[in-house]
Copies of this chain bind each other. A is one copy, B any other.
């Protein structure tokens, strides 16, 4: 019931490309995937245990390093499970922008307050756009090294294009609000 959980697929997807620790998976979530998917430790570590229990991933202790690392790999079953999910139709694409909510009700507090929210949004997007532009540069250089990079690039381009559009919209919205209607 409720929402179907996707974290298993996300982890398997990351493991399909390379072996990772839970900590590294979290890092991927906070950088590469951040723009369209997020997850916390509280969902990652339990999911990893679950995947091992179900035979979709294996865990080995890293004896080579001094740290207490647990390295996860995808199994053949895990890969099949991931592939099957990839063929299924997309279940849900969801956008929840509190900024838009506050703007929608903006008449209650007036233009100044609304503009302030837009400016904050703008700054956040500008910063994230820089990150994506950098990621794009790196990916374009290594596009022929790995067939997977083409797919990564597509999602990065999505982010870059939409963020640029957001910034354009910010300018227009600010103008519309600043204009007192004469």
By a beta-carbon cutoff of 8 Å, the part of chain A in contact with chain B is 6, 9-10, 13, 16-17, 33, 35-38, 79, 82-83, 85-87, 89-109, 113-114, 117, 120-121, 124, 144, 147-148, 150-155, 157-158, 161-162, 164-166, 168-169, 172-173, 176-177, 181
Contact = CB atoms under 8 A, between A and B. Distances in A.
A36 B100 CA distance: 7
A93 B102 CA distance: 11
B153 A101 contact: no
Given A108-B86, A109-B86, A109-B87, A98 B92 contact: yes
B82 A154 contact: no
Contact of A90 (B107, B108, B117): B117
A96 B94 contact: yes
Given A107-B151, A121-B93, A169 B158 contact: yes
Contact of A94 (B95, B144, B165): B95
A121 B173 contact: no
Contacts of A165: 161-162, 164-165
A104 B33 contact: yes
10 contacts: A35-B95, A36-B101, A38-B94, A85-B102, A87-B109, A89-B120, A96-B96, A154-B173, A158-B169, A162-B165
